[in-house]
Amino acid sequence: MVETVSKLDLFRARALGTNVSAVSLLATDYLNHFNEALMLAELLPDMPDMIDEFEVWAPKHYKDHFRDSGIADRELAIEAYDVCPTEYRDPFDTTVLMLNKQLMLLQRELLKNQTALEAGEKNEFIAIKCGLIRKLIDRAGGIINGQIPEKIPDKPDVTVQEGKVERGLKEETVKPVTGATVEVSDGKVLDQSDIDALFD
């Protein structure tokens, strides 16, 4: 009797010893896209002139990231993404959408208020947003390494299509999902989806 080997099993075997997780079939190299943006954002309180470099960052689809990457396993990473099991793919994609949303909201707020940024009035806002972004990056890393989060938050109203770079958010896409907010000294910082992300 011949046993049938599934496509998932084949890809997991191919992933052994590579940069692609043999469990989730995702690769942590994608998180460099977000870590670079976070690093720039964290520099802004001390170096507000870096806002121009931060403004250049834009969401990039997972596959597009690897197409532009020089890593040895990029073709495997691209192919394996479509075979990634649903229990990893769904929370990963949702977390990535949340990361895109938070980074674009941070960009928009700081670009709109550059005088306040230069005066140090946005430092608390930046610290809170960067803390949330770091938590989301950590969550994405955990999923890539085979951890399934107990709670999967609702997908935010941001989409990133393969082969398309999104720059900025439309006005209607930045409204809070439920209307609940947390206030700090410089105005609205967190909506309900932010709060859920911090405590799940």
Q: What is the pTM of this model?
A: 0.78
pLDDT at residue number 150 = 75
Looking at residue 55, its amino acid is: E
Token output for 50 = 């870096």
pLDDT at residue number 107 = 96
pLDDT at residue number 182 = 34
SS3 131: helix
Separation of alpha carbons 95 and 111, rounded Å: 24
pLDDT at residue number 173 = 38
pLDDT at residue number 157 = 52
Looking at residue 82, its amino acid is: D
Q: Would you write out the chain's pLDDT as a tens digit for each of its 200 residues?
A: 445 669 999 999 999 999 999 999 999 999 999 999 999 999 999 999 999 999 999 999 999 999 999 999 999 999 999 999 999 999 999 999 999 999 999 999 999 999 999 999 999 999 999 999 999 999 999 999 999 887 655 555 555 556 654 544 443 333 332 233 333 333 344 555 554 544 44
Separation of alpha carbons 22 and 144, rounded Å: 10
Provide the residue ranges of all domains of the chain, joining segments of one domain with +: 7-12+19-199
pLDDT at residue number 184 = 32
| Cα 54 off chain centre by | 15
